[in-house]
Amino acid sequence: MTNTPQTLTLIQPDDWHIHLRDNDALATTVPHACMSFNRVICMPNLVPPVKTTEQATLYRERILTALDKADIPSQRKAEFDPRMVLYLTDHTTADEIARAKVSGIVQAVKLYPAGATTNSSDGVTDILGRAGVFESMQKHGIPLLVHGEVTHHDVDIFDREKRFLDEILSVIIKNFPELRIVMEHITTRDAADFCLAQADNVGATITPQHLLFNRNHMLVGGVKPHFYCLPILKRADHQKRLLEVATSGNPKFFLGTDSAPHATHIKESACGCAGCYSAPHALPLYATAFESVGALDKLENFASRFGAKFYGLPINTSTITLVKSDMSVPEGYPYLDGKSLTPLLSGQTLAWSVQS
Ligand code: NCD
Ligand code: ZN
């Protein structure tokens, strides 16, 4: 038996991949994110997507308005810093990248292969044709965040990430060796090992669900729609490899929750949508995953140092304390107009909670 600490104080973490959605949804998502994270990288797959610096600036203002209205401590409000991302399309220009750079609020550009995931119909159809934009990003030091899945109908959903590495990402890296790239929400041994084989300018985020679960959790004993996210949960041996690299102390791997809210009734339906909501209890979830392999001592670097290092940003100066005391994950949170939002592991108990 290892001695489990009763409390775990961490440098305040950042979330390098989150979906806050827009408008009324922000009343739910912004306070949840703000209570755990300082900087959050806000994904741009709104309807319509955030394609320009001007749109990103307005979106950031809506997030800050929701923050202002939220009933949370003023110190948390002061530290919360939403960082924006532009959605790469077939029409993004090198000039737009230059505008993003001067804005100071656009942190990255996100590549969604067209049709890969929720709200990605405006995504890129000819990825390797985006050379001019990648060139400009490389020059301005703006990272490319990739949703790494091919979308051809004939490719099995469990093979889509590996095919993306082989056919697309390796070509982008070969042609733009200095471009900073984050492989978002990696789900396979292949992606972990691919990332390890690249230079320091290629990193990866890992979600709590891909560390804690595998496809059996989603499919055995009945389909569980709240485990359905993209890229889809894989076999247990992939989950094991993700846990290994996340807890290895290698700075290429860092926290990105991919917390992705969808109202309960549209997840629990004949065609449920992809995304797990984890923002309110993301840190207890990650602590549970790290503790499962006896690596709680590796959590702070993963959650609070390595992402900032990758983005060239300072390490936060505040702290947050996790306590080894049970947390009941609520059945649901109020969301939008009278709707409910079911969090990951709703109704269950986690062994860690955030100290209030
Ligand atoms: C995300 C969403 O709902 O916006 N869904 C998901 O399953 N992860 C989109 C994404 O990040 O792929
Ligand atoms: Zn996402």
User: What are the DSSP calls for 86-147, one per residue?
Assistant: EEP-TT--HHHHHHHHHHSSEEEEEE-BTTSSTT-TTSBS-GGG-HHHHHHHHHHTPPEEE-
Tell whether ligand 1 has an atom less than 6 A from the beta carbon of residue 207: no
Cα–Cα distance for residue pair 118/245, rounded to 1 Å: 27
Whether residue 253 is predicted with pLDDT greater than 70 in this model: the reply is: yes
CA of 20 to the centre of ligand 1 (A): 11
Cα–Cα distance for residue pair 89/76, rounded to 1 Å: 34
CA of 259 to the centre of ligand 2 (A): 7
pLDDT at 3: 59
Tell whether ligand 1 has an atom less than 6 A from the beta carbon of residue 233: no
Whether 258 is catalytic is: yes
Whether residue 351 is predicted with pLDDT greater than 70 in this model: the reply is: yes
Tell whether ligand 1 has an atom less than 6 A from the beta carbon of residue 18: no
Whether residue 1 is predicted with pLDDT greater than 60 in this model: the reply is: no
* Close Cβ partners of 137 (under 8 Å, ≥ 6 residues apart): 97, 109, 143, 144, 176, 179
Give the number of the atom of ligand 1 that is nearest the alpha carbon of residue 147: 12
Decide if 168 contacts 116 (C-beta within 8 A). Answer: no
Q: Which CATH superfamily is domain 7-354 in?
A: Metal-dependent hydrolases (3.20.20.140)
Give the number of the atom of ligand 1 that is nearest the alpha carbon of residue 274: 7
- Given 190, 200, 258, 337, the catalytic residue: 258
Residue 278 vs residue 119, higher pLDDT: 278
Q: Strands, E, within the chain: which ranges?
A: 7-11, 15-18, 39-42, 81-87, 106-111, 144-146, 181-183, 202-206, 253-255, 319-323, 327-328, 333-335, 339-341, 349-350, 353-354
CA of 4 to the centre of ligand 1 (A): 34
pLDDT at 180: 98
Q: H or E element: which one contains 241? A: helix 236-246
pLDDT bucket at 356, cuts 50 / 70 / 90: confident
For residue 267, give the nearest of 224, 219, 330 by alpha carbon.
224
Whether residue 2 is predicted with pLDDT greater than 80 in this model: the reply is: no
Cα–Cα distance for residue pair 175/177, rounded to 1 Å: 6
> Roughly what angle, to the nearest 10 degrees, separates helices 26-36 and 53-69?
80
Tell whether ligand 1 has an atom less than 6 A from the beta carbon of residue 260: yes
Cα–Cα distance for residue pair 205/147, rounded to 1 Å: 11
Q: Which residues pair with 4 in a beta bridge?
A: none
pLDDT at 169: 97
Give the number of the atom of ligand 1 that is nearest the alpha carbon of residue 228: 7
Tell whether ligand 1 has an atom less than 6 A from the beta carbon of residue 40: no
Mean of pLDDT values over 217-225: 98
The average confidence (pLDDT) of the chain is: 97
Q: How many CB atoms lie within 10 A of CB 93?
A: 12
Tell whether ligand 1 has an atom less than 6 A from the beta carbon of residue 226: no
Question: Counting ligands in written order, which one lies closest to the CA of residue 272?
Answer: 1
CA of 318 to the centre of ligand 2 (A): 26
- Judge whether 110 is annotated as a binding position: yes
Q: H or E element: which one contains 209? A: helix 208-212
Whether residue 330 is predicted with pLDDT greater than 70 in this model: the reply is: yes
